[in-house]
Copies of this chain bind each other. A is one copy, B any other.
């Protein structure tokens, strides 16, 4: 999982509980017991701080906490009042309020409930997991951290100004050249001015969406879809229109896409992952890509291609990205190094064709520029012999994981469980016989130190709640076998319980 939730250090949470939590809890009890009545004004922050012998900021924090929990309400510029009735789901309510009013209530409710599901996953996985199969990256030891750190040390020795100088422009020329060479091997033909270096592919995607949409517009996404994209669309005031992208087919259903385009004139963009889609791992065939480009050409929409997993093909003739067919600069291509080389570098890139100038200017007012140091490290690594060796090794390792994982799932999981057979990447998408609640299964698994991403995260609707996404990008060993056995047994037990 691409960590879309803010992880708090447990240490700080403990410290905080010592300060304002104590006071908040006592106030909360008074409200619940009726000692403080609805509409009653709370003392001013200053006065209460003096009474309680604590700092002003502690009381501020305490009041804010009670506001979040729905026990008090802030009346603008007037003060804090006891709420009419404590609102349990005040977070959900606030979420709805802060979202642009244009989007239809149904969509918002869907997203609010997605947010709730993500919060559930987060609260289930605050402890470090022994098998963190819900995460978005391959096993930490599979990344070339040492090699990158050595390059970094050398660069800082010879160019200490790398950390100090003002980074200007759209990216380090050396990195752009390295990327141009790398992308050329996938049939994408670019020049330096065609690329902008971003802070990870997340920023690339955000800039792409902002360049071609206005709040209120609709964006077509695949279903199932990476939940981070749904959250991004919501934050930009955009509506997500989910078009089926069945896990056992060649990517998005072209029939459904054409129908959706024909019947939704507010669609401004389509976001696709044609290579090793997250979460389903599917890859579009050459025929499907050609047909897709033909369909889209009849509508005033922009295709945004998310290719973060593009380099993970296990095939001898890897599929090409859609961008390789882009003759008129109409496809916006987003990718990054976080999956393949180093999650910590936070380096992505965007090649936006005719939208490049607009996107460059949006980047300036979003975050000005991307740190030069990481760009220099990545450029040197891409130009080194270590890079192709690393990618070969990584692909080979992934390849050797898929078969035993699939075998284990067939062995241990409920009869009728469907498993995808990806040509690359580390996602396995499982569909268990319906009805089945994968979020409930997750709850049991975490007590065994195992986490995965339940299917319900990958849509605004609940239609994938019988599915789950496993990250199998880690060494295959007995432990992994016993991990899958545990998930499988717990799943089987659920069916037995149901049918008893």
Contacts and interface: CB of A to CB of B under 8 A. Distances in A.
A38 interface: no
A148 interface: yes
A4 interface: yes
Nearest to A361: B235
Contacts of A328: 45, 60, 63, 74
Contacts of A153: 152-153, 156-157
Nearest to A299: B77
A176 to B, nearest CB: 8
Contacts of A76: 300
Nearest to A209: B365
Interface residues of A, number: 109
A160 interface: yes
Contacts of A148: 160, 163-164
A384 interface: no
Point out which of A56, A98, A136 has the most chain B C-beta atoms below 10 A from its C-beta.
Answer: A98
Interface string A3-17: 111111101100110
A166 B145 contact: no
A298 B6 contact: no
Contacts of A373: 152, 344, 373-374
Interface stretch (A196-204, A276-284, A430-438, A488-496): A196-204
A110 interface: no
B173 A161 contact: no
A161 B189 contact: no
A475 interface: no
A7 B166 CA distance: 12
Nearest to A354: B64
Contact of A163 (B74, B203, B345): B345
A143 B165 CA distance: 9
Interface in A336-362: 338, 342-346, 353-354, 357-358, 360-362
Contact of A169 (B6, B165, B366, B368): B6
A492 B374 CA distance: 47
A300 to B, nearest CB: 6
Given A169-B7, A368-B2, A329 B137 contact: no
A189 B55 contact: yes
Taking the full assembly, how many copies of this chain does it contain? 2
A162 to B, nearest CB: 7
A407 interface: no
A193 B16 contact: yes
A459 B190 CA distance: 37
Contacts of A266: none
A371 interface: yes
Interface in A90-139: 98, 100, 135-137
B344 A371 contact: yes
A320 interface: no
B60 A327 contact: yes
Point out which of A9, A144, A150 has the most chain B C-beta atoms below 10 A from its C-beta.
Answer: A9
Given A57-B190, A366-B367, 17 more contacts: A5-B364, A7-B169, A56-B327, A57-B189, A100-B214, A137-B166, A145-B165, A148-B164, A149-B161, A149-B163, A152-B152, A153-B153, A162-B344, A199-B368, A203-B368, A215-B237, A236-B365
User: Lowest 10 A-B CB distances belong to which pairs?
Assistant: A145-B164, A149-B160, A166-B343, A232-B365, A57-B189, A149-B156, A199-B367, A7-B169, A203-B367, A235-B365
16 contacts: A6-B361, A6-B364, A8-B169, A11-B173, A68-B357, A98-B358, A140-B161, A146-B160, A148-B163, A149-B160, A163-B342, A164-B342, A199-B371, A202-B365, A203-B366, A214-B215
Interface of A: 2-9, 11-12, 15-16, 19, 45-46, 55-57, 60-61, 63-64, 67-68, 74, 76-77, 98, 100, 135-137, 140, 143-146, 148-150, 152-153, 156-157, 160-170, 173, 189-193, 198-200, 202-203, 206, 210-211, 214-215, 228, 231-232, 234-237, 297-298, 300, 327-329, 338, 342-346, 353-354, 357-358, 360-362, 364-374, 377
